[in-house]
Amino acid sequence: MGFCLPGGPDRPVRTADDLWGTASTGTSHVDQGGFHHGMVHGAREALTELLPELPEGHLRSYADVHLYGLVSLAEACADAGLDHRSGELSHAAVLTARAGVDSNYDSYRAWHEADPRSVSPADAKSVFIRAIVAGTFSDVGPVQAALLGSTGACYVVTCGCASSAVLLGLARTVIADGQVDLAVVTGVDRFDPERLLHGDRLRQVVAREPVRHHTEAPTSRFDRPMRPYDARGQSMNYGDGSVTLVLESRAHAERRGARSYGAVLSQATTRAGLKSAFAIDAGGGALAEAARRCLDGRAELAEVPYINGGAEGDPLFTRIEANAVRALYGDDSRSVLVSSQEACFGHFGAGLGNLGAALSLLMMRHGQVCPTANCEKPSDVCTFDPVPGTQPRPLVFTRALSFNYQIGGVNSALLLGGADVA
């Protein structure tokens, strides 16, 4: 596993140890002050350190999502003991997830605004290449596949915040079917702060007078920190970043003596059957159903004492997960640990499924559950234990669920197993 996530002022969170040091203490790297946003600092410097052979001309043409994705990819390859320079990933499938539009927008805007009367030939070529590379949401995939020299499948899934979780399920399927031995899965996104603030100004216009809404919607506010599962939770902060996970068949891993963090046992996606394309299933029934499909024939519910949640801080999402957990566990739900680490980095869209999977595997490895960052006083709505505070909770477990969901009623559940299960 490899990362390029908000960290300190000069260096992003890049390794599993970096991630654990942040998440296990509930540390937030979301910038404080009047605007709360998880910003990645030092990605270009990290990329130069990791991949010094990349031509400067390439770097000039890459948007932030490409830089973030290459950093997390290089770190994941190093963590897996795979040398891309010697062709060890030449047959790997390269699967990527995107949700935001900012990088595409910026690339096209640079092309559109370039003045032919004054732009230099080098800059003109750069904006052309940048516009071509960012032409679709599959832009990160070809950039990564080119680095690896991959001849395998290369495609993107984009279904919002559930995107990389869905890709993990697809990667498991193509490996189990014998199509490939290796799959590299990256979820990456970037959100422009000024556009977020513009959206917040529009929200304030809507709030001036009552407007009848047919469906519930979350509140994205940036003037206060996100607090998942907390009684004071009133906002969602966005963030930027990338997470890459390397999946491989058991036989391939054993042949090369690879160290395993665990296994993706199953993944299921459901939709709530809502009539609106922008609705959210507040009842949590479809999310619970996705979990049941994951468990079917693979694990008993009693074997799953922990869920990595997808709550961002808005009370609506707390209610969704509270309803889903109660629907699953019934009267036993109060003993279930459910925590979220989104407040450590901000809500960064397509990469969240990978993040939840990575954290769950690390928690099983360490025998500890990370706290819910920024949760101090749990909401009365919670039907579970949200692990408040800044200390990890001891727990020996070998199976976990990870939840993600998206506006429009899309729900994803992942069933993960620890290294002993793998």
**Residue-level pLDDT at 418:** 95
Cα–Cα distance between 295 and 20 in angstroms, integer?
27
**Residue-level pLDDT at 25:** 98
pLDDT at 276 over 90: no
More confident residue, 272 or 53: 53
Number of H helices, E strands in the chain: 14, 12
Residue showing tokens 């990605």: 43
- pLDDT-based confidence at residue 217 (cuts at 50, 70, 90): low
**Residue-level pLDDT at 67:** 95
Pair type for strands 410-418 and 399-406:
antiparallel
Q: 16 and 1 in contact (C-beta within 8 Å)? A: yes
**Residue-level pLDDT at 353:** 97
Rounded average pLDDT over 45-63 = 90
Cα–Cα distance between 67 and 71 in angstroms, integer?
6
pLDDT at 61 over 60: yes
Q: How many CB atoms lie within 10 A of CB 269?
A: 19
Query: Could you tell me the maximum CA-CA distance found in the chain, to the nearest angstrom?
Result: 71
Cα 414 → chain centroid: 13
Phi first, then psi: what are they for 406, rounded to 5°? Answer: -140, 145
**Residue-level pLDDT at 422:** 57
Nearest to 308 by CA among 350, 269, 339, 271: 339
Pair type for strands 241-248 and 368-369:
unpaired
Cα–Cα distance between 57 and 47 in angstroms, integer?
14
pLDDT at 295 over 70: yes
Cα–Cα distance between 112 and 108 in angstroms, integer?
6
More confident residue, 102 or 193: 193
Rounded average pLDDT over 123-150 = 84
pLDDT at 236 over 80: yes
**Residue-level pLDDT at 216:** 59
**CA-to-CA dists, residue 271 to 159, 274, 278, 372, angstroms:** 12, 8, 12, 26
What size, in residues, is the chain?
422
More confident residue, 407 or 41: 41
Residue type, 129: I
Nearest to 311 by CA among 244, 356, 272, 377: 356
Cα–Cα distance between 146 and 89 in angstroms, integer?
11
pTM of this structure: 0.93
b/e code 364-397 from CB counts within 10 Å (16+ = b): beeebbbbbbbbeebbeebbbbbbbeeebbebeb
Indicate the average pLDDT of the chain: 91
- pLDDT-based confidence at residue 299 (cuts at 50, 70, 90): very high
Q: Please classify residue 8 by burial: count the beta carbons closer than 10 Å to its beta carbon, then call 0-12 exposed, 13-18 middle and 19+ buried.
A: exposed
By mean pLDDT, which of 93-107, 245-259, 370-384 is the weakest? 93-107
Cα–Cα distance between 397 and 418 in angstroms, integer?
8
Rounded average pLDDT over 124-132 = 78
pLDDT digits 0-9 by tens, 315-370: 999 999 999 999 999 999 999 999 999 999 999 999 999 999 999 999 999 999 99
Q: How many CB atoms lie within 10 A of CB 116?
A: 6
Cα–Cα distance between 187 and 68 in angstroms, integer?
10
**Residue-level pLDDT at 111:** 76
Q: What is the DSSP letter of 306?
A: E
pLDDT at 137 over 80: no
Pair type for strands 399-406 and 306-308:
parallel
pLDDT at 214 over 60: no
- pLDDT-based confidence at residue 21 (cuts at 50, 70, 90): very high
Rounded average pLDDT over 104-122 = 83
pLDDT at 130 over 80: no
SS3 at position 418: strand
- pLDDT-based confidence at residue 179 (cuts at 50, 70, 90): very high
Cα–Cα distance between 358 and 54 in angstroms, integer?
28
**CA-to-CA dists, residue 397 to 219, 278, 306, 418, angstroms:** 35, 36, 8, 8
Residue type, 275: K
Cα–Cα distance between 405 and 320 in angstroms, integer?
10
By mean pLDDT, which of 15-24, 40-49, 52-61, 121-130 is the weakest? 121-130
Could you tell me the domains of the chain? 2-197+221-255 (3.40.47.10), 262-418 (3.40.47.10)
**Residue-level pLDDT at 331:** 94
pLDDT at 215 over 70: no
Rounded average pLDDT over 259-282 = 87
**Residue-level pLDDT at 204:** 78
**Residue-level pLDDT at 104:** 76
Torsion sign over Cα 355, 356, 362, 366:
positive
**Residue-level pLDDT at 223:** 81
Residue type, 332: D
**Residue-level pLDDT at 303:** 97
pLDDT at 275 over 90: no
